[in-house]
Structure 1
């Protein structure tokens, strides 16, 4: 199985040994961040630093001034990695070490954009804004995301791209000093708290036959038992928590709202995400000169939100070259993530994304077994999250596992 590791430019820039170390792991590809959200990241081997704080979402290359001139929504420039174009510097070093570079582009996840443009974000049924979640139904947001996808994906030296957060973002969001776990939310409640009621979405619901005020009231009414502590369902998509059965998850939403209201939400949100995904992939292809592989980070349940945006498995593989799906966890987690893509077209990529950082719930020591299980379920490639964050011990385990997967002698 072809394997690729995720990496940030700051893992490479300023560390002359980084590219060779990564090539020595046995991966063939690096998926290198070109546009990324705010984060605080450990750099366990860098000779100049141990922690990098990316204060806001930004591009890690110089954006095209002409493309963005006069536009309210435009990418922010980073200031925490030295140099004018850290993506390019890292990509060159990685290519010189024999690694194929693909760009990693985060789209609808941008807290600074939401703080500076509050009208552009998801607003829940109570009117609360989610600054980290641009509303993908808004025309100005869609135009920004599509152009960002094209620009950030097709960087010099990149042979393909992986688009993250290409769809709805919602309530779930790792946040500094987060205090939202006091009331457990089932997957259905997470969904209801993620539904947007901005003016554009409200108009969309009305066009589909249900006034927004009626739909909002139904959502609020359905959530009232949650705040009283009577929801009773398992937590939703929190890290390390296996998802509930897909049919039961959506059936719970229909039970809470009624089939008509749930159907309107599903129709509007699925269509909005699907058309954005198609537009983003088309824009990347138009910007690329020659063959260029486009994958989406995806969840095969279309109603789900987040970094792995919900997709229709048949539709997404009709226009993208493939998907990257989250497979960290137990056998059931991998089966639920991969099984819907079993009918993939010939040549389509289904990459199993496995966390290899022990401190983040990964199992680097079980990588070979987990990869074999993923392959039995139809995965064609591996993604390893994340080579820059992992300890030396974790990377040593990854190296041994990749040798085993390749059939080479261990050690």
Structure 2
């Protein structure tokens, strides 16, 4: 079973032992970040540093000036945390150790974009903007993300890509000094708090026959019991159902355009996977999708499975449909049909279960997983990585 370990370029650059250490895990592939959001990351084995602070969302390679010339919105080049062609240098070092490299591209998650261009952000029913969440219904945002997907995915040395946040982002977002836990919001309330009411979204609601001002007022009315410790109940579920069609259509438009742009730029057989959740109402890094649609579009999906493999089931039920535009529906791994990759966290301090990896893999395979992803080889402790080695299930 093909297994890929997630890495950042700074896990490799400046550490000559890193490529061999990753190869010694038994994995055959690395999913290496080429466009990533702001973060503060631990590097527990690096000979020169222990903490890397990526101050803003950026591309981890030099963006092509002619490619972006004349576009309204453009990506940001990284600072000292990933200077120059950090992705390319790290990819070259990993390939020299015998590892296949696929790019890891984060799309609709960009706080600097929201700070410098506030109008691009999701704005909720109360008028609060979410600067970390670009509104994917806006044509200018979609144009940026599609162009970014193509450039960041198809980097020299990459045999495929994984597109994260290729859809809606919303309320849920780890944030410095976060103070949002005072009121527990169920999934429906989270969805309602993630609805956007920018002009583009207002137009989208109108195309469904909904008045945006009425929808906004109703969202606030439906959420009122939640602020008192209650639930949104049936009215919340009805509002979710009424607005989901527009949200799903906007996400599909982005996904279809992004995958097409990557395919047009990549070589034959370049694998395209989406980080995905089979519940269309979900927003975040693993975006909500319709399983049949996304498996007919991309070469497969990467699905969060640390809490259990249940989210794989709707994708497995679709069957080996293959993907539009792939080379005979044969991915880089050589298997006909769709890749169903179970993403398992192996960092104990982040809720991972490296000591139970063999059991978790067996459960995922039983549901239909065809590949594995390990999050995250650069962040994991030596003990966590040793547990991965001893599990003997990667390849």
Shift of 1:404: 4.7
Distance 1:185 1:390 in 2: 31
Residue 275 of structure 1 deviates from its aligned partner by 1.5
Q: Which residue of 2 aligns with 1:256?
A: 235
Of 393, 398, 410, 2:388 maps to 398
Q: Which residue of 2 aligns with 1:237?
A: none
Segments of 5+ residues of structure 1 without an aligned counterpart are: 234-251, 407-411
- Displaced runs of 4 or more, over 3 A: 261-264
Q: Does 1:283 align with 2:261?
A: yes
Distance 1:143 1:51 in 2: 34
Tell me the number of residue pairs that the alignment of Structure 1 and Structure 2 aligns: 379
- Please give the TM-score of this superposition, normalised by the length of structure 2: 0.94
> 1:208-247, aligned counterparts within 5 Å?
208-231=208-231
Aligned counterparts of 1:56 and 1:338: Cα–Cα separation in 2: 32
Tell whether 2:313 aligns with 1:339: yes
Residue 365 in structure 1 maps to residue 361 in structure 2: no
Asked if the contact 2:278–2:288 (Cα under 8 Å) also holds between the matched residues in 1, the reply is: yes
Q: Is the 8 A contact 1:317 1:344 kept in 2?
A: no
Change (3 A) 1:75 1:82: closer
Q: CA deviation at 1:405?
A: 5.6
In 2, distance between residues paired with 1:58 and 1:205?
32
Structure 1 residues 208 and 92: CA distance shift in structure 2, 3 A: same
Deviations 1:212-253 (A, max 9, x none): 01111111100001112223x8xxxxxxxxxxxxxxxxxx5x
Q: Deviations over 1:271-315 (max 9, x none)?
A: 110111111011000001222000000000011000000010000
Gaps of 5+ in 2: 321-335
Aligned to 1:242: none
Distance 1:289 1:298 in 2: 24
1:324 matched to 2:298? The reply is no
The equivalent residue for 1:247 is none
Deviates more, 1:307-316 or 1:204-213: 204-213
Which piece of structure 1 moves more, 261-270 or 35-44?
261-270
Say yes or no: does 1:120 pair with 2:99.
no
Aligned CA distance change for structure 1 residues 172 and 83 (closer, same or farther; 3 Å) = closer
Aligned partner of 2:344 among 338, 349, 354: 354
Residue 127 of structure 1, CA deviation:
0.8
1:305 — aligned with what? 283
Paired with 2:101 and 2:82, the residues of 1 have a C-alpha distance of 20
| CA root-mean-square deviation | 1.3
Alpha-carbon separation, structure 2, partners of 1:94 and 1:201: 43
Deviation at 1:66, TM superposition (A): 1.1
1:352-384 Cα deviation digits (max 9, x unpaired): 000000000001011011001100000000000
SS across alignment from 1:350: strand
Alpha-carbon separation, structure 2, partners of 1:82 and 1:307: 22
**Equivalent-residue separation in structure 2 for 1:152 and 1:82 (angstroms):** 14
1:132-281 equivalences under 5 Å are 132-231=132-231, 255-257=234-236, 259=238, 261-281=239-259
